[in-house]
Amino acid sequence: MRILQSRFDSSRVHQYLLIKEVLCYNNFMSLNTPISQLNRVGKVLERNLKHLQIETVEDLLNYFPFRYEDYSEIVPIQDLPQKEGQQVTVRGKIELIANKRSPRKRKVITEAVVADDTGQLRIIWFGQPFIKKILYAGDEVFFSGKVKSDMFGINMVSPGYEKARNTLLNPPSMGEEKGDVISTTHTARIVPMYSLTSGITHKQIRFLMTQAMKAVSQMKDWLPNEIRDRIDIMEFGDAIKAIHFPKSKEELKHAERRLKFDELFILQLRAELIRQSIKQSKAPQIRFDKKAIKEFVDSLPFKLTDDQKIAAWEIIKDLEREAPMNRLLEGDVGSGKTVVAAIALYSCILNNYQGVIMAPTEILAKQHFETLSEAFALSDVKIGLFTRSKKMIYRDKIEINRDNNLNEELSPSISTYLDISKKSFLKEIDNGELQIVIGTHALLTGDVKFKDLGLVIVDEQHRFGVEQRKTIREKSGDMKTTPHFLSMTATPIPRSFALTLYGDLDLSIIKQMPKGRKPVQTRLVDPHNRDKAYGFIREQVKEGRQVFVVCPLIEERGIRKGERGQLGNHSTFHIPHSISEKKTVMQEYEKLSKNIFPDLKIGYLHGKMKDTDKDSTMEQFTNGTIDILVSTSVVEVGVDIPNASVMMIEGAERFGLAQLHQFRGRVGRSSHQSYCFLFTDSNTEKVKERLALFESTTDGFKLAEHDLEIRGPGEVYGFAQSGMMNFKLATYKDQDLIKLARDVAREIDFNKCKSLREKVEKWEERVHLE
């Protein structure tokens, strides 16, 4: 009985201890532990952390520093005069510390005198009287801060501080090395700096992070050992530890490499999954008919540039394969992508397959229709235009031959377009009479059914989703095959970045411009020369030219988040509100039409207009009824108004260089010399420098690279919100890592690496949810 009793007692004690352990976060912490259970997290801090999307220990661990300060070298006080202006750490004993009031501002000043074996240093804090309750004379303390000097000698103002023997803040397995008595969190080491919202201090985050370090060992490394060994990369948990509290610069570098690789690898894995699934399907095989293609190329009124030839060749090779092509054709505005597309289409037709071009807008579809009709004017090809609006335009070569004198040379200027009903149009597609169909995405909907679709070309819509691919296959006339796919874009995306962004696509780039183009003359116009510029515009209009005026969206910026300094991340986003696109455009329109050019015909375009109104305005601009078109950035990508010779951009500092370049590409599309005028009210050096670069080069890729560096991919390519490219560490400049991630991904057998497939699926879910 006694024995029983005592056993009972001891089990009670045991139970008690267990409960305590469970309750005590210090001993029991999982990755899912709510942040509120950490030491010293009250309601306020909890809420503030939530603003940073930190709710659990895992969130916290994934919240990386945005820069570091290297306080790892302790400087003897006597050497400080040579370090003026630099960030340093000293270690010394407080000899004296006192609060006093400043004579004028009645603020509390805390002053301390600190000494080491080599000298004395004065330290000053403003408005922080509590420090006197933390630091006492006799304490050994590390101070990290900037060295300054005044008439009393060397000093530091508001440095970071940490008592030398304070091991409380010390995370396990870091800091205290064998034989190393120094152990600090905030000073005397490479100190992490986090980007914060108001109400949180660096010290607080670091303190929480030291607690969270206990859970790091629970983080599973998602990279299989074979991959890790092969590419010699740090273990995940170690990398997380080191990214927060690196022991050395070397270790930090390894941690960054590992974590950057993760970010890049997941994108490449996803791309590879898509790629492999596409490659598994069968495509119509398009044989290369050398003679016929050569004849077609020879019939063009110009010689292809080398880049065009290479791109066409890459495409022809792809078309010959059994697996569907999945390629992106990149080329600056005016670089001549359409003719490359035409060669690909022609190759299809020669093999008795249909081809399709899809454009994002009706106007662009119509333009492609006209261009291709011209390109194929001499060959026996039937082309149709299919858009939302009811008019179905149809070009019937045979019809024309019948109507016109057969001997008369066909000239593209002869009106050869016929309207036909939707019903007969659909029939012509279905029975294969029509060889090339050009249209908007209306082609993907409704009753369109192709005969033998061999090639789908999508213009200015970089990605063709899985869903769209499926739809097109269902409409292709042969469910057993998947048509070849070519995407075209005028957005200059540097190659390494394109590999990250569109890893599933193969890439062809046209960099060369056709010979004989006159580069657009670009000028940043001084405000006092504004009238001169208007005068010049009037001259141009008198000569029959037309003018674009682009005004910026005025937006107020919301919270900035996640800005990274030295490591170059750009997950900054802003929440635009109170944008009034309409207001901006209408104000400019009023000004120009009433005060500046009352005698000219001025039109406007903004996003709030109905599509039909937009189309009719564009129509009037295209046919020359409107002289000057005022708009925001909605000026359609790719719209071709060869007669427009001036692009005038207001508030130029508000646009990225890549976007400015897109605007500039709207002019200079004919033999007329064209001009781009930039206006800005900003006088900052940075703006001037950027715009000067824009003035000095017409190389879209160069501008895009500069832009990427300054503003980051999210803003440059407009997917800041999508979550896809919200890298914390990696940038497009990590070319070696991008390539490595791609190479590793390409060799993955997803049937063997199920966990990697799952990881991608989970990641996609998260990204889509964001």
Which residue ranges make up the site for Mg ion (CB under 5 A)? 638
Compare residues 324 and 638 and give the one whose CB is closer to Mg ion.
638
Minimum separation from the CB atom of position 768 to ligand ADP (A): 32
Compare residues 454 and 638 and give the one whose CB is closer to Mg ion.
638
Compare residues 267 and 510 and give the one whose CB is closer to ligand ADP.
510
- Which stretches of 73-222 are DSSP H helices? 131-134, 202-212
Query: Are the C-beta atoms of 269 and 762 separated by less than 8 Å?
Result: no
Beta strand 546-550 pairing with 644-649:
parallel
Query: Are the C-beta atoms of 686 and 719 separated by less than 8 Å?
Result: no
Task: Give dist(CA 35, CA 50) in Å, integer.
Answer: 9
Question: Which candidate, 163, 183, 182, places its Cα nearest to that of 171?
Answer: 183
Cβ burial of 179 (10 Å; 0-12, 13-18, 19+) is exposed
Q: Give the binding range for ligand ADP (CB under 6 A) out of 97-105, 139-147, 228-236, 332-340.
A: 332-340
Q: How many CB atoms lie within 10 A of CB 491?
A: 21
The one of ligand ADP, Mg ion, none whose footprint includes residue 193, by CB under 5 to 8 A per kind, is none
Minimum separation from the CB atom of position 666 to ligand ADP (A): 11
337 binds ligand ADP per the rule CB under 6 A: yes
Query: Are the C-beta atoms of 169 and 210 separated by less than 8 Å?
Result: yes
The one of ligand ADP, Mg ion, none whose footprint includes residue 335, by CB under 5 to 8 A per kind, is ligand ADP
334 binds ligand ADP per the rule CB under 6 A: yes
Of residues 497-556, which lie at the interface with ligand ADP (CB under 6 A)?
Answer: 514
Compare residues 145 and 638 and give the one whose CB is closer to Mg ion.
638
Taking CB under 6 A as the criterion, the residue among 175, 192, 336, 439 binding ligand ADP is 336
Question: Which candidate, 88, 86, 94, places its Cα nearest to that of 76?
Answer: 88
Compare residues 492 and 552 and give the one whose CB is closer to ligand ADP.
492
Compare residues 514 and 651 and give the one whose CB is closer to ligand ADP.
514
Q: Give the binding range for ligand ADP (CB under 6 A) out of 106-114, 274-282, 334-342, 762-770.
A: 334-342
The one of ligand ADP, Mg ion, none whose footprint includes residue 331, by CB under 5 to 8 A per kind, is ligand ADP
Minimum separation from the CB atom of position 548 to ligand ADP (A): 16
Minimum separation from the CB atom of position 547 to ligand ADP (A): 20
The one of Mg ion, ligand ADP, none whose footprint includes residue 136, by CB under 5 to 8 A per kind, is none
* Site of tokens 């063009």: 300
Question: Closest CB to Mg ion belongs to which residue?
Answer: 638
Packing angle, helices 306-320 and 337-350, rounded to 10? 30
378 binds ligand ADP per the rule CB under 6 A: no
What residues contact 766, with CB distance under 8 A and at least 6 apart? Answer: 723
Minimum separation from the CB atom of position 333 to ligand ADP (A): 5
User: 211 to each of 17, 30, 68, 214, 466, how far by Cα in Å?
Assistant: 21, 11, 19, 6, 44
Minimum separation from the CB atom of position 333 to Mg ion (A): 7
Minimum separation from the CB atom of position 637 to ligand ADP (A): 10
Task: Give dist(CA 191, CA 535) in Å, integer.
Answer: 58
674 binds ligand ADP per the rule CB under 6 A: no
Q: What is the DSSP letter of 158?
A: S
Query: Are the C-beta atoms of 209 and 196 separated by less than 8 Å?
Result: no
Compare residues 483 and 638 and give the one whose CB is closer to Mg ion.
638
Q: Give the binding range for ligand ADP (CB under 6 A) out of 186-194, 302-310, 560-568, 618-626.
A: 302-310
Task: Give dist(CA 286, CA 292) in Å, integer.
Answer: 13
Taking CB under 6 A as the criterion, the residue among 331, 562, 603, 714 binding ligand ADP is 331
Q: Tell me, what amino acid is at 678?
A: L
User: Which sign does the torsion angle of CA 439, 440, 443, 446 carry?
Assistant: negative
Compare residues 235 and 374 and give the one whose CB is closer to ligand ADP.
374
Taking CB under 6 A as the criterion, the residue among 210, 268, 335, 631 binding ligand ADP is 335
The one of Mg ion, ligand ADP, none whose footprint includes residue 355, by CB under 5 to 8 A per kind, is none
412 binds ligand ADP per the rule CB under 6 A: no
Question: Which candidate, 270, 331, 216, places its Cα nearest to that of 699?
Answer: 331
Question: Which candidate, 630, 671, 672, 676, places its Cα nearest to that of 657?
Answer: 676
Question: Which candidate, 615, 580, 585, places its Cα nearest to that of 602?
Answer: 585
Coil, strand, or helix at residue 170? coil
The one of ligand ADP, Mg ion, none whose footprint includes residue 304, by CB under 5 to 8 A per kind, is ligand ADP
Q: What is the DSSP letter of 410?
A: P
487 binds ligand ADP per the rule CB under 6 A: no
What is the Cβ-side half-sphere exposure of residue 438, based on CA atoms within 13 angstroms? 26
305 binds ligand ADP per the rule CB under 6 A: yes
The one of Mg ion, ligand ADP, none whose footprint includes residue 336, by CB under 5 to 8 A per kind, is ligand ADP
Task: Give dist(CA 699, CA 573) in Å, integer.
Answer: 27
Question: Which candidate, 160, 175, 192, places its Cα nearest to that of 68?
Answer: 192
Task: Give dist(CA 332, CA 92) in Å, integer.
Answer: 61
Taking CB under 6 A as the criterion, the residue among 72, 338, 593, 622 binding ligand ADP is 338
Minimum separation from the CB atom of position 577 to Mg ion (A): 34
Three-state secondary structure string covering 30-43: CCCCEHHHCCCCCH
Minimum separation from the CB atom of position 33 to ligand ADP (A): 55
Taking CB under 6 A as the criterion, the residue among 115, 304, 323, 710 binding ligand ADP is 304
Compare residues 304 and 533 and give the one whose CB is closer to ligand ADP.
304
Compare residues 57 and 341 and give the one whose CB is closer to Mg ion.
341
Task: Give dist(CA 373, CA 397) in Å, integer.
Answer: 10
Minimum separation from the CB atom of position 486 to Mg ion (A): 13
Question: Closest CB to ligand ADP belongs to which residue?
Answer: 336
Minimum separation from the CB atom of position 335 to ligand ADP (A): 4
Compare residues 184 and 335 and give the one whose CB is closer to Mg ion.
335
User: 135 to each of 130, 141, 166, 311, how far by Cα in Å?
Assistant: 9, 8, 12, 70
Minimum separation from the CB atom of position 396 to ligand ADP (A): 23
Size of site (CB under 6 A) for ligand ADP: 15
Q: Give the binding range for ligand ADP (CB under 6 A) out of 241-249, 337-345, 431-439, 691-699.
A: 337-345
What residues contact 721, with CB distance under 8 A and at least 6 apart? Answer: 573, 714, 770
Compare residues 276 and 670 and give the one whose CB is closer to Mg ion.
670
Minimum separation from the CB atom of position 340 to ligand ADP (A): 8
Cα(first)–Cα(last) distance of the chain, in Å? 63
333 binds ligand ADP per the rule CB under 6 A: yes
Number of H helices, E strands in the chain: 24, 23
Coil, strand, or helix at residue 9? helix
Question: Which residues contact ligand ADP by CB under 6 A?
Answer: 302-305, 308, 331, 333-339, 490, 514
